[in-house]
Amino acid sequence: MSGATITTLNNSQVSLTYYGKLPQNYNIILGSNASTFGTLVVTSPSNYDGSSGKTTFGINSGAVKANKYAGVIAGLSTTYLSSQTGTYSGYDWTLSLQSGSSTVWDLLFASYVDGPSSADTDASLLTVASNLKGVINYQNSSLNHSLNYDCSYFGKSNSCMSSSVRNSNTKDNDSQSVAIIGSTKIGDHVRVGGFIDGTVNKDHNFNMKLNSNSPMFGAFTRFNQYDQNFGLKGGVSAGYINQDLKSTRVVTGTSEPGTGTSNLTTKGIQAEIQYGIDA
- The Cα-based distances of 30 to 12, 92, 239 in angstroms read 7, 15, 61
Nearest to 102 by CA among 82, 80, 85: 80
Residues 59 and 189 grouped into a single domain: no
- At residue 230, the 3 state secondary structure works out as coil
Helices (H) and strands (E) in the chain, counts: 1, 16
The angle formed by the CA atoms of residues 16, 38 and 46, to the nearest 5 degrees, is 50
In a domain, 2, yes or no: no
Does one domain contain both 96 and 51? Answer: yes
pLDDT 10s digits, 160-214: 999 988 877 766 667 788 999 999 999 889 999 999 998 766 666 668 888 777 8
Task: Please give the average per-residue pLDDT across 246-275, as a whole number.
Answer: 89
User: How far apart are the C-alpha atoms of 104 and 72, rounded to whole Å?
Assistant: 8
Domain-terminating residue out of 109, 134, 160? 109
Same-domain check for residues 147 and 194: yes
249, 162: one domain? yes
Whether 239 is covered by a domain: the verdict is yes
- Model pTM score: 0.58
Q: How many distinct structural domains can be found in the chain?
A: 2
32: left (phi over 0), alpha (psi -120 to 50) or beta: alpha
pLDDT in tens, 58-107: 999 999 988 899 999 999 999 999 989 999 998 999 999 999 999 999 99
Which among 109, 137, 171 is the end of a domain?
109
In a domain, 1, yes or no: no
Same domain, 124 and 256: yes
In a shared domain, residues 142 and 83: no
Residues 248 and 122 placed together within one structural domain of the fold = yes
Summarised one tens digit per residue, pLDDT across range 227-255 is: 767 789 999 999 999 988 888 888 887 78
Q: Which of 79, 109, 139 is the C-terminal boundary of a domain? A: 109
- pLDDT tens digits along 128-144: 888 888 888 888 988 99
Q: Are 20 and 148 members of one domain?
A: no
Q: Are strands 85-88 and 104-109 parallel, antiparallel or unpaired?
A: unpaired
Residues 102 and 182 in one domain: no
Residue 114 confidence class, pLDDT cut points 50, 70, 90: low
pLDDT of residue 277: 82
Can you give the residue range of the structural domain that contains 127? 118-276
122 and 259 part of one domain: yes
- Does 32 lie in the same domain as 83? yes
Do 103 and 214 fall within a single domain?
no
